[in-house]
Amino acid sequence: MPGVLLPEMSSPPPDNDEEVASTNKRRSGRVSKKPEFLVTEPASTKRKRAAPHDDDDVNGAEDTSDEDEDDDEAEYDEPAEEELRERRAKKTKNGTKRPAAKKPKTNGAPVQIPIRSTPMKKRPSKKGKASTVPNAKEVGGLYAEVFSGGKAIEEVASNWMQRFEQHESNALAEIVNFVLKCAGCESEVTNYDIEDVDGATTKVSDLQDEFQTQNVSDYPIIAKTKFATTLKATLVEFFGVLVKTIDATGALFTSPELIDNLHVWLTTMTSAQNRPFRHTATVASLAVMTALTEIGKDLAGAAATAQRQSENMSKGKGANKKRASGLLQDATAAQQKQAALDAILQDWFDTVFIHRYRDVDPKIRVDCAQALGDWILAYPDVFFDGAHLRYLGWVLSDSHWPARFEVVKQLRRLYEKKDRLAGLKTFTERFRARMVEMATLDSEPTVRASAVELLDLLRQAGFLEPDDIDAVGRLIFDSESRVRKAVVHFFSSSVQEIYEGKVEELGGEEAVTEELGDSAESAEQPGLPWLHLKCLVEVLDIYDQFDPEMSKHATRGPGDNYRLHAEELESRFIIVAETLYPSMDIVKDWDTLAKYLLYDTSDGGQNGVSGDIGSQLRTSCKLSDREEFILLEILNVSIRQHVSNLVDSAAEKKGKKTKRQRDDLADEQESTAREITTLIPQLLKRFGDSPQTVLAVLRLERIVSLSAFSDFQQDPSTYKNLLDDIEKQFLSHGSDEVLNEASRALLRAKAYTDLGDVTEEKIDELWDETLETFRRLVGSKNLTVRGNLTSKVVDGLTKTIARIERLAAISNPVPHLDVATAATTKSQRQSTAASGPALDLLTSLIRRAVLEPDVQEDRSYALAEDTLSLTAARVVGFYTLWSLSNLRTSLEESNPPDSAIDSLATSRDAFISALIEVLASRLPSAPIATDISLILLDAHIAGASLRGVTPKQKGREDFLALALDVSPDVTTVGLKVFGAQEQRFARVTGRHIEKVKEGRKARKNKKPEERPVDADPMDEDELDKDPEESDAEVHLDAEESSDEDEEEEEGAREARHMHRALTAEQRLCEFGVKLVMAILAGVVDEKPVRKRLEVNKMKLGANYKEVIKLLEEKKKGKKEGKPKVEKKKEVLVVESESEDEELEDDVDGEEEQEEVAEEEPEAEVESVLGD
């Protein structure tokens, strides 16, 4: 038979240097990333290294093996001989490059029009038409027989064999045309084409040229139609049955020209440049090879069986030498057929798989990887060796993730066969590092999860190094749930091995049980369950400290509103515990966890010096502070999941349980709630010194507050004791996280009607205690003078006012802050301020944020002062909101006296005045300016709600004096602050936005000392420096000076950058929402504010677009009514960041013309912003 010449493909050949290098090593085309770990701040460290391909490339070299191949592993490192022949045959072609187009030179910068850019419509890409799946009845022939469903595949193959015996070339033409139809091609070959074997390449080239003119982008075996989903499977089944039918008739060996001719046409099509031809023919060829491997497996089995039977019959007294000779002949014949079949398989492998496993089409590469896995399992005598396994190893570095996923799946099938592990040892040593890399760094979570399951099999076989086990075990902290779930068995098995190792150090489980008796398994004292938990938290602690940057809270800046609310997110240990809970029984036993935590393992009386097993066990069970915290988080999850399971069981339909089962379940729920309520005070007593552990314990109170548990009668005295402990923690800790959690617990307690006034009494006690501390700290000091307090006093006041803020958020602060207190101390008697209403003291503290010009302050002290003022402002803001709400209720239900309204108006005016003073003294880009602006807008929006009140006393309107609008000057300042947030977000995220220039009149009225809106706080006074960016820079400098790995530093920088970007976007959208609410409430001049908000609405991301959508709805509503005549507003001129400064004169000219037009009050001035 003439040889098959593979045509030169359309892919450009490699350069000479690359070609020489590729003969020894293969370049990895993998895509990898650093894994995202569970953090309390958002982080993203994905890194991709994509290897783009030309769509027309056929043999696009997917050089997919790792670069560090060892010279002594020739079986895996040296390329196959057929690959070397192909490389030698290639000639380097250097294509000429088109010269770069010259840019016209101009005298100066290009002129840009100062208008808002309009996005141009993209020209639709030219897509090839989808190939329709041929209709079986219309096409007829073999295609109709296979896909019409009228006949079984076996019958179709049998009928074809009959036609082959009658006319070989016609029958082979049917096969080739069948493949063409499956590729979507309507052209056909004739029996004359089949007889001209040497012309197969030319004929296929003509067919694909004709098919190429149709510009088909989709073809049947990959189409998304209902029938196409089964077409590929049917195609594979047909060729498998056909080859087995050929073998059953004996034609496989008696008529070798049949399989040879089939080989010629299919392999020629697999090398076609046309993708539908190539892919369809490859699928058919792989199916043929799969059927041949199954035949080879049967032949090998038959030869071995006949050989064994022949040997048995030739031995012993009853030897049947004639029968043994016949069996030996059968074995020899089977071996000869097997050798012939192996030669056929090798020919197909060399001409199909060798070239297609690295095809540019990723779908073809996936099919090849799947087929090779099937061949290795089906016919290990030929394929289970290094020469074939290496292809799976090389595809591990494929740039297409489904190909990597497929080869990992095939490797899992191999490693699951325990009898094959010895043959995989060399392969494992060669590619183990790549498999670990895929599990830890692959960009696709599905691939990483599958790679973890593969490595679990390697761990069971003992093929992993300790460093590999740790690298995979750390994935328990991964942010992808699929990866975490996949690594659970791997992680728990590693912990189990460590536990078993420690038990062996104690003498073995039998020795421990014999020494300790029943206490060895006890939950009341140190025993084996505690040791198991110790191993768990010890491993988690080690893995967590491996990347300490990921464990830090995102707490920066003055006040809660200035940071991402990281304390609202569950810690990574909670997420890990939730992942481990279904699979680890030790995590489910919350009673053992609680007993272990309540036991003081730091008792130094037992040091194990005596060698006693009990003493050694107690020493081994000692917990560090971090391990205690981790165990508390695990306890939280264990109790929560236990309670959740009880609630879910109770929620099931009653018909599924008997009355006794329901009663038992209710009793268990009530007893669990009572045990948890008793457990929390004990844990607070044990771990009340650390804010971190207190926070973990207080979170348990949420579980008691589940709605399903509130129906049970709790013992009031027990819950009162719990509230006493919560009150104690509230007063003793200044951590924002602890205060938030304690205040939430009190708020939930208020919802319990069974507790009566117990909760209200506790809250009143907290008010009295906190205000007394506040007045004691204030003393006789002048609160409006910045810098006259020590750092210690400032810190104490800030923490105390933070407690007042939390109380004001859950209860009415008006009766507590309005009341003056009699002077009890000497300093209070000397100062009327300290004994006055706390509201006045807090309002005075706000003015401490007023920054005097040319005053130098220590940065840390300045931040502390700003935090103090901002906290006081939030408290007064809560007071204002509560007061206005109380007033609305009073107006609707009764007739409040005028003095109450006057008093509220006085306090409100003082509050607003203090906020405006702070804003006037600060840069718009200062962090505190944003918070003060938000509080100011909240106060005005709340006041506007009075306009919708219908008072009980008809005709009363004096309360409307509290519904004030924001003055134009304050609105201007607020828009400057918004602009600073907008520019900060653009700077952090690398966006290009349009800047809003001030009009001519605004520039004339601008004070000389007033700085620009976009002034960078880093270039100004240290007091207004952005603390978040500054802290990040200091932290970054420290990291760069360390000896950490460069890749980890890059990941940490990316994490901090992502955190800054998310924080900036949160602040921007929060401010935008407040401005939108102010527009809807009618407290700001709508036109300039709306115009300013819409300047960059298409450039600030999807979240900001949702903010602006609220305005769009209002705008549609206005069009339905009569248009309002508005006063003329100042023009906003938009400039691009790259705008030339020479355009300012033109803009000023436009403004002068608009100023002349002001005599026409009803004429609306056009804005250069456009519609």
Q: Compute how many other C-beta atoms are within 10 angstroms of the C-beta atom of residue 423.
A: 16
DSSP string, 1011-1049: PPTT--GGGS-GGGS-HHHHHHHHHHHHHHTS---HHHH
- pLDDT computed for residue 16 by the predictor: 40
Closest CA to 292 of 314, 323, 330, 263: 263
Q: What mean pLDDT do residues 1141-1147 have? A: 38
Closest CA to 612 of 496, 472, 757, 515: 515
Asked if residue 1133 lies in contact with residue 997, where contact means CB atoms within 8 angstroms, the answer is yes
- pLDDT computed for residue 342 by the predictor: 94
pLDDT per residue over 802-842, tens digit each?
999 999 999 999 999 988 765 455 545 544 455 689 999 99
pLDDT at residue 328 above 60? yes
Tell me which of 38-52, 133-147, 631-645, 992-1006 is least confident: 38-52
CA–CA separation, 28 and 19 (whole Å): 15
In the Cβ-directed half-sphere of 111, how many Cα atoms lie within 13 Å? 6
Element (H, E) at 735: none
The pTM for the full model equals: 0.75
- pLDDT computed for residue 549 by the predictor: 46
CA–CA separation, 858 and 860 (whole Å): 6
Structure-block tokens of residue 1003: 């520039």
Tell me which of 198-202, 324-328, 1004-1008, 1014-1018 is least confident: 1014-1018
Q: Show the DSSP H helices in 314-361 as ranges.
A: 321-348, 354-356
Q: Compute how many other C-beta atoms are within 10 angstroms of the C-beta atom of residue 7.
A: 14
CA–CA separation, 522 and 342 (whole Å): 64
pLDDT at residue 1121 above 60? no
- pLDDT computed for residue 653 by the predictor: 64
pLDDT at residue 1003 above 70? no
Angle between helices 791-810 and 758-778 in degrees, nearest 10: 150
Structure-block tokens of residue 185: 């091609």
Structure-block tokens of residue 495: 């912990």
Q: Given its phi and psi angles, is residue 184 left (phi above 0), alpha (psi -120 to 50 degrees) or beta?
A: left
pLDDT per residue over 942-962, tens digit each?
999 988 888 888 878 888 888
CA–CA separation, 250 and 244 (whole Å): 10
CA–CA separation, 1129 and 1163 (whole Å): 11
- pLDDT computed for residue 1115 by the predictor: 61
- Residue 100: burial class (beta carbons within 10 Å; 0-12, 13-18, 19+): exposed
CA–CA–CA angle 907, 862, 979 (5° rounding) = 75
| Residue that has been written with the tokens 């919350």 in this structure | 590
Pairing status of strand 216-218 against strand 995-997: unpaired
In 900-999, DSSP assigns E strands to 995-997
pLDDT at residue 580 above 90? yes
User: What proportions of the chain, in percent to the nearest 5, are helix, strand and coil?
Assistant: 65, 0, 30
Q: What mean pLDDT do residues 995-1000 have? A: 64
Structure-block tokens of residue 427: 């392969």
Q: How far is CA 526 from the centre of its chain?
A: 40
Asked if residue 483 lies in contact with residue 449, where contact means CB atoms within 8 angstroms, the answer is yes
Q: Compute how many other C-beta atoms are within 10 angstroms of the C-beta atom of residue 750.
A: 15
pLDDT at residue 632 above 70? yes
Structure-block tokens of residue 841: 């003291």
Structure-block tokens of residue 118: 């309009």
CA–CA separation, 901 and 1117 (whole Å): 34
| Residue that has been written with the tokens 């309540």 in this structure | 598
CA–CA separation, 444 and 886 (whole Å): 55
Stronger pLDDT, 44 or 791, i.e. the higher one: 791
Pairing status of strand 129-130 against strand 216-218: parallel
pLDDT per residue over 1064-1099, tens digit each?
999 999 999 999 999 999 999 999 999 999 999 899
CA–CA separation, 237 and 244 (whole Å): 11
Tell me which of 28-37, 120-129, 929-938 is least confident: 120-129
For residue 632, which amino acid is it? Answer: L
Structure-block tokens of residue 464: 């992993």
Q: Which residues contact 217 (CB under 8 A, 6 or more apart)?
A: 127, 128, 129, 130, 131
Average pLDDT along the chain? 78
Q: Alpha carbon of 973 to those of 976, 977, 1010: distances in Å?
A: 5, 6, 11
648 three-class SS: helix
Pairing status of strand 995-997 against strand 1133-1135: antiparallel
Buried b (16+ CB within 10 A) or exposed e, 224-251: eeeebeebbebbbbbbbbbbbbbbebeb
CA–CA separation, 798 and 778 (whole Å): 11
How many H-runs (helices) and E-runs (strands) does the chain carry? 51, 4
**Where does the pLDDT of residue 1049 fall: very low under 50, low under 70, confident under 90, or very high at 90 and above?**
low
- pLDDT computed for residue 73 by the predictor: 45
**Where does the pLDDT of residue 1122 fall: very low under 50, low under 70, confident under 90, or very high at 90 and above?**
very low
841 three-class SS: helix
For residue 1097, which amino acid is it? Answer: K
| Residue that has been written with the tokens 């790679």 in this structure | 451
Q: For the CA atoms of 197, 203, 205, 209, what is the dihedral angle to 10 degrees?
A: -170
C-alpha torsion sign, points 793, 799, 801, 803: negative
- Residue 1125: burial class (beta carbons within 10 Å; 0-12, 13-18, 19+): exposed
CA–CA separation, 368 and 398 (whole Å): 12
For residue 707, which amino acid is it? Answer: S
pLDDT at residue 499 above 60? yes
CA–CA separation, 494 and 491 (whole Å): 5
Q: Compute how many other C-beta atoms are within 10 angstroms of the C-beta atom of residue 388.
A: 17
CA–CA separation, 390 and 69 (whole Å): 11
Q: How far is CA 122 from the centre of its chain?
A: 31
Structure-block tokens of residue 273: 């440049």
Asked if residue 306 lies in contact with residue 330, where contact means CB atoms within 8 angstroms, the answer is yes
Asked if residue 908 lies in contact with residue 939, where contact means CB atoms within 8 angstroms, the answer is yes
CA–CA separation, 1158 and 975 (whole Å): 24
pLDDT at residue 757 above 70? yes
CA–CA–CA angle 129, 134, 138 (5° rounding) = 135
Structure-block tokens of residue 418: 């325990």
**Where does the pLDDT of residue 650 fall: very low under 50, low under 70, confident under 90, or very high at 90 and above?**
confident
DSSP string, 433-481: HHHHHHHHHBS-HHHHHHHHHHHHHHHHHT---HHHHHHHHGGGGBS-H
Q: What mean pLDDT do residues 632-652 have? A: 88
- Residues counted in the chain: 1171
pLDDT at residue 13 above 50? no
Asked if residue 738 lies in contact with residue 695, where contact means CB atoms within 8 angstroms, the answer is yes
- Residue 948: burial class (beta carbons within 10 Å; 0-12, 13-18, 19+): exposed
Q: What mean pLDDT do residues 523-538 have? A: 88
C-alpha torsion sign, points 1080, 1082, 1087, 1089: negative
* The most confident of 136-150, 185-199, 473-487, by mean pLDDT: 473-487
